[in-house]
Amino acid sequence: MKSKVALATVLAGTAGLAARDLLQKQHSLKRNFPVVANARYLLERIGPELRQYIVTSNDEERPFSRDQRAWVYASSKMENNYVGFGTDNDVETVEGYPILKHRTFSDVAAPTAVHSADSVVLPSAKVLGGPRGRRHAFRPNSVVNISGMSFGSLSGPAVRALNEGARLAGALHCTGEGSLSPHHRQGGDLIFQIGTAYFGCRDEEGRFDLERLKEVVASAPVKAIEVKLSQGAKPGLGGMLPAAKISDEIAQTRGIAQGHDCASPSRHTEFDDVDSLLDFVERVADETGLPVGIKSAVGDMGFWQELVDTMAADSSRGVDFVVIDGGEGGTGAAPLVFSDAVALPFRLAFTRVYSVFARAGITDRVTFVGSGKLGLPENALVAFALGCDMVHVAREPMLALGCIQAQRCHTDHCPTGVATQNPWLVRGLDPTLKAQRVNNYLRTLRRDLLKVSEACGVWHPGLLTVDDVELLLGNRAATPLGEVYGYEPGWGAISDEDAAAIIEIMSRTAPRGGSSRERTTSPRA
């Protein structure tokens, strides 16, 4: 009798737990896998204790360590993302560990309160499209924006949450090459990405159609156009969307047929050299009035040298912005060798490209955007010091959506409903709740960027230079950032005109810290 009562109690408790998991919306994993998903959270809670003795440290996992993921999770939930008892990073032996140098005296002081800068939008120090006089040139409201992730690769609710989160945070949201879907239309400002398959702006034969492009960008708050030459996840390789993932909605959005795998070519057909690329850029910019830029991973430098030489020689043609994507990989699934061994990692990639523009003296004509694990404050700050004007983030917002780094993006079996089209898995992701988490994450990242910049004595991360960062060689030496990457004096800094403009904006809008009160009596009184 007692065993039956005990069994009934267990079954009732399990049923109650299952009901709670199915009805709650905070954790998509629990909605999709009621009861059993709780084991994951239990293990996560006791994970530090387990790893301390038998597994790994908080900073060993890749692509994102436990510490990095925990920071994103806590930030997105507005939980305490502080740490205690000092760093557990291996600063004594690691080569290349970045250190930002705070200043003892400065007119700028970071406010101490935890959430004092959460409402700061932190605009770009440069006007996008301004140097080339584009009709719809603008100053982006946020230096942190969401990078290209296509509807099709990500689920509809995930894209909806990202766009709504971008709207709440005042950030830009890149569509990815999969075109502009209904899920992108939640009010967030957009960057429309043109990929090699010209999804959303192609005719029935798959060729680029300028009139369709104009119709698409006019139908939504598209602020800029990005021509994707390559991406860090699979540089030099096209994409493949399996037929199983192509729903009717995806087919309509991209302008493709259902029932067949959808391939993106490795290279563009509208241009085949720098000269025709710039003609294409100017044609799109003239017809739409929007700033037009390029996104690329970095391998052979011949293309970049020719691009800069052409822009320097002919000021009537040029790109408005350049997005450098690190070869560390990204949200796109790819063959292992492409993720691991093709294209330069971000810092090497960016500094090589920036140096070519700097030698030609045309860095002020271009907005530089960095991408590749730059959604973590220390990585982003180093990028700004090297000359980035904005950063685009992708995997970190995915973590804010609930991604647990299961690394099943390429299987259509993402357990949290982020990178899948499986209706059963997608239903676990509540876009309203997750949009707020994306918003919280973006605002927290901007807050930390601003606070560290102020600690370094400048008003804005765009005012950081290579003189503000050193890279450690264990605990034996530290090398200035500019010396490591061969920067000449003045490289990485914005123009005096842009600096004056952003200082004027920030001095009016940013919260300010202060100093202790001045003495009213003699210290010996």
C-alpha gyration radius of the chain = 24
- 5 Cβ contact partners less than 8 Å away, ≥ 6 residues apart: none
Residues in the chain, overall count: 525
Residues of the chain with pLDDT under 50: 52, 522-525
pTM: 0.89
Cα(20)–Cα(37) distance, integer angstroms: 12
DSSP helix/strand/coil, 470:
strand
CA distance 187 to 76: 20
- pLDDT for the residue 37: 85
Question: What is the structure's pLDDT at 522?
Answer: 47
Helix (H) or strand (E) holding 324: strand 321-325
pLDDT of residue 239: 73
For residues 59 and 91, what is the distance between their CA atoms, to the nearest angstrom? 12
Residue-wise pLDDT tens digits, 238-253: 777 777 778 888 888 8
At residue 332, the pLDDT reads 66
Q: Which of 492, 39, 426 is nearest to 249 (CA)?
A: 426
Alpha-carbon gap, residue 372 to 395, rounded angstroms = 9
> Phi/psi of residue 213, each to 5°?
-60, -45
User: What are 313-353's pLDDT values in tens digits?
Assistant: 999 999 999 999 998 866 666 777 877 888 899 999 999 99
Q: Nearest to residue 485, comparing CAs of 380, 343, 296, 346? A: 346
What is the four-CA torsion angle of 462, 468, 474, 479, rounded to 10 degrees? Answer: 110
DSSP 380-428: HHHHHHHT-SEEEESHHHHHHHT------TTTT--TTSSS---HHHHTT
| Angstrom distances, CA of residue 67 to CA of 59, 296, 301, 362 | 6, 29, 35, 39
Q: How far is the C-alpha of 32 from the C-alpha of 424, rounded, in Å?
A: 7
pLDDT for 14 equals 85
Residues 6 or more apart whose Cβ sits within 8 Å of residue 442: 142, 144, 146, 165, 166, 169, 171, 397
- Check residue 319 and give its pLDDT: 98
